[in-house]
């Protein structure tokens, strides 16, 4: 029976790299995959999943109004899919996560979703909250804080490296905007 997996981690933990490795493993065995990524993540080429270590693959972009289930069902009907892989899963809507669950349950296609669990304030993203509620398997990808402890939080910083405590939940950026920290150091940075 196919399952819905949620692989989550802080920024810079290797989520996209892990997704691309899973995709490679399926394709190396002659299996077909479908890759999705958030349209609003414009750090790299549009419609591409890219990792910081230089791996990349083309992907279908999703927006809040994208019917992922319809796209997958149509694609699967033409030529069976072995797996659906979703990058930046925190940007999914709740209904889109429900669609991913139906893809696994109703169509027998495993779905591997990769994303952040929380934003820079420690609040759940909508897609992550729904994945935490519905996923058959929750897998934490580990990252390390500057102190050596497990990094679970994402600190947003301004151009001077100071912690940002207010603002929109989503602000696209990489190492210049976010630092992965343990909970203690995240709280200390926000309080400073």
Q: Is 71 buried (19+), middle (13-18) or exposed (0-12) by CB count in 10 A?
A: middle
Is residue 192 domain-resident? no
- 166 among known catalytic residues: no
pTM for the model stands at 0.89
Is residue 55 domain-resident? yes
pLDDT in tens, the chain (192 residues): 899 999 999 988 899 999 999 999 999 999 999 999 999 766 667 778 888 888 889 999 999 999 999 999 999 999 999 999 999 999 999 999 999 999 999 999 999 999 999 988 888 999 999 999 999 999 999 999 989 999 998 888 888 878 777 766 766 555 567 888 998 998 888 887
Q: What was the pLDDT predicted at 136?
A: 98
Is residue 106 domain-resident? yes
Q: What was the pLDDT predicted at 30?
A: 97
Is residue 88 domain-resident? yes
Is residue 13 domain-resident? yes
Is residue 176 domain-resident? no
Alpha helices (H) in the chain, listed in sequence order: 15-28, 68-78, 94-107, 126-134, 183-191
Range of the domain at 48: 4-142
Is residue 158 domain-resident? no
Helix (H) or strand (E) holding 62: strand 60-62
Domain count, the chain: 1
Is residue 151 domain-resident? no
Active-site hit among 88, 126, 140, 166: 88
* CATH number of the domain residue 54 falls in: 3.40.50.300
Alpha-carbon gap, residue 136 to 103, rounded angstroms: 13
- With tokens 């394709």, the residue in question is 27
Q: What was the pLDDT predicted at 122?
A: 86
């Amino acid at each position: 029976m196919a399952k819905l997996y949620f692989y989550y981690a802080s920024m810079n933990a290797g989520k996209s790299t892990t997704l691309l490795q899973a995709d490679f493993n399926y394709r190396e065995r002659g299996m077909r995959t479908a890759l999705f990524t958030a349209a609003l993540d414009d750090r790299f080429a549009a419609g591409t999943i890219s990792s910081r270590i230089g791996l990349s693959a083309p992907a279908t972009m999703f927006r809040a109004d994208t019917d992922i289930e319809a796209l997958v069902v149509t694609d699967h009907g033409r030529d069976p899919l072995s797996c659906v892989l979703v990058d930046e899963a925190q940007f999914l809507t709740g209904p889109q996560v429900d669609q991913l669950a139906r893809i696994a349950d109703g169509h027998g296609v495993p779905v591997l979703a990769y994303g952040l669990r929380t934003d820079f304030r420690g609040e759940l993203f909508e897609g992550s909250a729904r994945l935490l509620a519905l996923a058959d398997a929750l897998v934490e990808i580990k990252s390390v804080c500057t102190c050596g402890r497990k990094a679970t939080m994402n600190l947003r910083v301004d151009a001077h490296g100071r912690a940002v405590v207010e603002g929109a939940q989503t602000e696209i950026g990489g190492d210049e905007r976010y630092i992965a920290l343990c909970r203690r150091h995240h709280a200390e940075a926000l309080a400073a």
